Amino acid sequence: MRSPRSSPLPGRATATAPANIALVKYWGARDLAHALPLNPSLSMTLSACHTRTTVDFSPAPGEDEVWLAPRELAGDETVVIGPTAMTSAVAAADAAAAGDDPARGVPHPEAEQHPESEQHNWRDPGPAFTARVLAHLDNLRRRAGLDPGAGRFRVVTVNSFPSSAGIASSASGFAALTVAGAAALGLPLHLERDAGELSSLARQSGSGSATRSLLGGFVLWPDPAGGDADDPRAVQLHPADHWRLADLVALVDTGAKEVSSLGGHRLAPTSPYFARRLEGLPERLDRVRRALADRDFASLGTAVEEEAIDLHLIAMSSRPPIFYWTAGTVDVLAAVRRLRADGVPACATIDAGPNVHVLCPPEAADSVAARLAEVPSVLSVLRDGAGDGPVLEEALRGEALTQSEESW
């Protein structure tokens, strides 16, 4: 244990961290608050869908601030295709998220004076989001040896994908918060050398999938060679350039889901099929690992789609049952089967929501995207693919900060 420091330095850091899509899913925990999983999971880190977060830490006492800058649907990182009318329905939802809905809070009065406010639309994200962010920063502050509640934080966070797209942002969000928060507090952690330790810190946010977003490419969690079962860390199996698989996210419903993934983890053991799932997973994980190592898309697709259906079978047979699928989800699954029947390599996977991630080799991405956009229930298609790990864009401490940066 380190003794609390009496005069911590001010710090400011900005980090970008990617989202990820699980090929073998984390579903069910032996300790939900600390995200200790009941089974190993394996994901592909994404490239276009990411979160950029700036954390300011000031040793002076005061109120913590958490701001969210909602982003419009279009953007150069996230290519969106699909029927215009449908796309604008998503854009309208995003406009509501950007402030037309008074329940989303008021804009920050000084937003324009701050360099990271390029969108000029910081919003108060609401008490639940703010409390989770501050609880995680408390973990980091403890890790830095500071007194609980010492100083104050200001956090500004923006996703490259619209908050209304029905895509989970907790993985990229907590990964970016971990990297930026650790750097602002002066924790001596290096993104590559200490990726395992950073992944462990990210897990303490309660978001298991965030643990995997600390690494690029294909990521396994827990690391079987990682030692401590009560501190599971993530490990990279292959970098992104091992296989630049495409992920085309077919959006069929952009509303908030009724049951969060935390609710799903909690209910998983109530399914009569859950024990059978856990029993069969090592063999499936093995097949996914082999298919990735061999770049064998046919074997990968079979195992990944089987796994996604299995997760939803557990959700649908939990007590009470959880239905994440909508009619649009089933339409996309049928379209993926038609693609395969036509000789186009593609497979589907679905997280805790209705939208479908369609994976394919990079050379098939254009035709898969075009075919998905033709499905009437598809609102739009986000184009993504295998990507690298987080980036620390800026990290300043103490004297490196100008006076105005120090006195926000």
Q: Which of the ranges 81-89, 205-213, 374-382, 397-405 carries the binding residues for ligand PMV, by CB under 6 A?
A: 205-213
Position 351 contacts ligand PMV (CB under 6 A):
yes
CB of 68 or CB of 364, closer to ligand PMV: 68
Tell me which residues in 13-32 interact with ligand PMV (CB under 6 A).
22, 25-26
Q: Choose which of 16, 163, 169, 170 interacts with ligand PMV (CB under 6 A).
A: 170
Please say which residue, 257 or 383, places its beta carbon nearer to ligand PMV. 257
- Residue 261 binding ligand PMV, by CB under 6 A: yes
Q: Is 176 in the site for ligand PMV (CB under 6 A)?
A: no
CB of 226 to ligand PMV, least distance (A): 17
**Do 57 and 340 touch, CB atoms closer than 8 A?**
no
Asked if 199 interacts with ligand PMV (CB under 6 A), we say no
208 interacts with ligand PMV by CB under 6 A:
yes
User: At its nearest, how many Å lie between ligand PMV and the CB of residue 147?
Assistant: 30
Residue 309 found at the interface with ligand PMV (CB under 6 A): no
Closer of 116 and 310 to ligand PMV (Cβ): 310
| Stretch touching ligand PMV by CB under 6 A, among 133-141, 207-215, 246-254, 328-336 | 207-215
Strand 246-251 versus strand 380-385 pairing type: antiparallel
Cα 376 versus chain centre, distance? 27
Cβ proximity to ligand PMV: between 44 and 73 the closer is 44
- Binding ligand PMV (rule: CB under 6 A), the pick from 207, 236, 254, 380 is 207
Full 3-state SS string of the chain: CCCCCCCCCCEEEEEEEEEEEEEECCCCEEECCCCEECCCEEEEEEEEEEEEEEEEEECCCCCCEEEECCCCCCCCCCEEECCHHHHHHHHHHHHHHHHHCHHHCCECCCHHHCCCCCCCCCECCCHHHHHHHHHHHHHHHHHCCCCCCCCEEEEEEEECCCHHHCCCCHHHHHHHHHHHHHHHCCCCCCCCCCHHHHHHHHHCCCCHHHHHCCCCCEEEECCCCCCCCCCCCCEEEECHHHCCCEEEEEECCCCCCCCCHHHHHHHHHHCCCHHHHHHHHHHHHHHHHHHHHHCCHHHHHHHHHHHHHHHHHHHHCCCCCCCCCCHHHHHHHHHHHHHHHCCCCCEEECCCCCCEEEEECHHHHHHHHHHHHCCCCCCEEEEEEECCCCEEEEEEEHHHCCHHHHCC
- Between residues 170 and 236, which has the closer beta carbon with respect to ligand PMV? 170
Residue 356 touching ligand PMV (CB under 6 A): no
Q: Judged by CB under 6 A, does residue 209 bind ligand PMV?
A: yes
Contacting residue, 262, 278, 309, 330, with ligand PMV by CB under 6 A: 262
Which x/- pattern, by CB under 6 A, does the window 56-95 give for ligand PMV? ----------------------------------------
369 touches ligand PMV by CB under 6 A:
no
**With CB under 6 A as the contact rule, which of the stretches 54-62, 92-100, 206-214, 237-245 interacts with ligand PMV?**
206-214
Q: What residues line the site for ligand PMV (CB under 6 A)?
A: 22, 25-26, 41, 168, 170, 207-209, 261-262, 351-352
